[in-house]
Amino acid sequence: AAPGGLASFHCSARRLRAARVAVVLSGCGVYDGTEVHEASAILVHLSRGGAEVQMYAPDVPQMHVVDHSKGQPAEAESRNVLVESARIARGKIASLAKLTTADHDAVIFPGGFGAAKNLSTFAVDGKDCKVNREVERVLKDFHKAGKPIGLCCISPVLAAKVLPGAEVTVGHEEEEGGKWPYAGTAGAIKELGGKHCVKEAVFSLTPSYEAHVDTKNKVVTTPAFMCETELHNIFDGIGAMVKNVLKLTGK
């Protein structure tokens, strides 16, 4: 055999086994789009897991634009979700309308208020929210195909709305002195028809401590920035979610 032939064979074999994962973004920036740290953590863990990644976002206007230095809406300014998401994707992104189950083994949704503002109307309408048509299609298609769905932070509300009875976590159900400032979301998940499971957002030797796996629906969730904790805990919790998603692909 030619020098390096065996190594090339093993590399090719790994590529054949690699899970193909779609990551759905909702803009760029925690207050009106994707939470950047969460997206980055997901991409790092997917890379470490050997996955092939393609990023997508809906080609729609943002609900509004927030000046992140002030935490206030920027009046008379508008941005496009796909265009803003391309900042995180380093330009390598496609319209969500092009995402199909045939091309991917799993799909993951980072959090950030964009999930509640641009992928759905949850931020405004709560339990009566509507989900973006393409987001709803993707969630239903992957669920029907028996392919895993990963979500973190606020994005589990999407699964709770679209997949009745799905088990998800957004962390704890009480604020606990400000440690879980968005704890009320757990109640909304129940009103949406989902089942909420309490989980932590700190490192544990048992990955299930940080992420919840709904084996029946193949939905994997983790609290991420729903908790006021150190960044490395967020990173590790997302890692537990990604690890379980990849495991469910069987690749």
Known catalytic residues are 153
Strand order through the sheet with 52-57:
93-95, 52-57, 20-24, 106-109, 149-152, 219-222, 212-214
Say if CB 38 and CB 153 are below 8 A apart.
yes
Question: Facing residues of 22 across strands?
Answer: 54, 107
Q: How far apart are CA 234 and CA 27, in angstroms?
A: 20
In 29-174, alpha helices (H):
36-48, 81-88, 114-117, 122-125, 133-145, 156-162
Residues 68-73: contacts with CB under 8 Å, at least 24 apart: 68/29, 68/30, 68/31, 71/31
Amino acid at 90: R
Please give the backbone phi and psi of residue 5, each rounded to the nearest 5 degrees, phi first: -65, -45
Instruction: Say if residues 22 and 107 touch (Cβ distance below 8 Å).
Output: yes
Write out the two tokens for 81: 């979700």
Token couple for 227: 């908790």
> Can you say whether the dihedral through the CA atoms of 47, 19, 210, 157 is positive or negative?
positive
